[in-house]
Structure formats: structure tokens, C-alpha cells
Amino acid sequence: MPDEGKAEALEAVRLLAKAQMMAMRTGRLASPTSIDDVLGPEWLKYEREHPEEDRTEGLEILTDARKALSSVPMTHVESVRSAYAGYSEALSADDIKMASPSSRAVSIFAFNEWNIGMIISQGRIVLLRIKRAFPPPF
């Protein structure tokens, strides 16, 4: 039987996968969701400034939260951890402070460039923030 930390991590990934499937199937988001795409604009700027480099096919700036959620590579989740004020890539300190005592803040890191912050309450995602950024160490 998994320990409490593993069970909570699995629940967070399961809830994110469920939200992703709903967004892909119905085109709707189950909770307030936002996207902050840092990678898209910066990479396109780099390509404009370095025309000698090969172009990245299909690269776009993500502004639609539903499309961003659908793009998160769920098969490449690398870490799941509690999100703390002052140390979350996607959730703001205000997001975390506003969470009720019965809810929890979670950060998921996927495929070296996706940071997902979630507030989970009573087995549901009540807030979802997605950030796509350059992989570390940038």
C-alpha cells in the first residue's frame, strides 16, 4: 500500500489527467485555469535573432488554457510535490494563501518545460495554473 505522500501524488496526477481528458473531449475546463507561456515567445524570438539555426516545426505561443492543458505530456510527469508560498513555479503566493485549510497546493513538473500548479479541495481541482518555460538551468 502506498504511503500518504505517494497516494497524494497519484491523486494529483489522476485529477490532472481527468481534467485534460475533459478538456480534450468537451472543449471545457472543469476549474479556473490559466496559461503562462514563457517558452513560446522566447523561443520564437531566439529563432528570429538566429536565422542560421533550424526552425522548430509547429512551435506556437500558447494563450488558450484548454489547448495548453491538452498539450501537457502526461506520460512524462517527472515530479509531484507540495507547493509552498515562495517556491512554486506556477502558483502565486496569493493562490497558495487563498487556499482553504482543507485544500492543498500541488506542483507537477512534466517533460522538462511544463510546471503545473493546482489547488485540490475535496478530491477536485479548484484552481489550475499552467506554465511552460525553458527547462533548467535557464
**Residue 9 Cα distances to 5, 54, 122, 136, angstroms:** 6, 38, 15, 22
pLDDT score at 136: 67
pLDDT of 115:
93
pLDDT at 134: 80
**Does residue 109 form part of some domain?**
yes
Domain contains 54: yes
**Using only C-alpha atoms, what is the Rg of the chain?**
16
At 87 the pLDDT is 62
110, HSE (Cβ side, Cα atoms, 13 Å) = 22
Note whether residue 138 is domain-resident.
Answer: no
- Total residue count of the chain as it appears in this document: 138
Domains contained in the chain, number? 1
Whether the CA torsion 11, 14, 20, 23 is positive or negative: it is: negative
- Write out residues in the chain with pLDDT < 50, as ranges: 1-2
Q: How far is CA 45 from CA 61, 63, 121, in A?
A: 11, 16, 39
- Domain membership of residue 91 as a residue range: 4-132
Is residue 88 in a domain?
yes
Average of per-residue pLDDT values in the chain: 89
Position 34 in a domain: yes
Q: What is the pLDDT of residue 103?
A: 93
Position 101, amino acid: P
- The reply to whether 137 falls in a domain is no
Q: What does the pLDDT look like over 104-124, one tens digit per residue?
A: 999 999 998 999 999 999 999
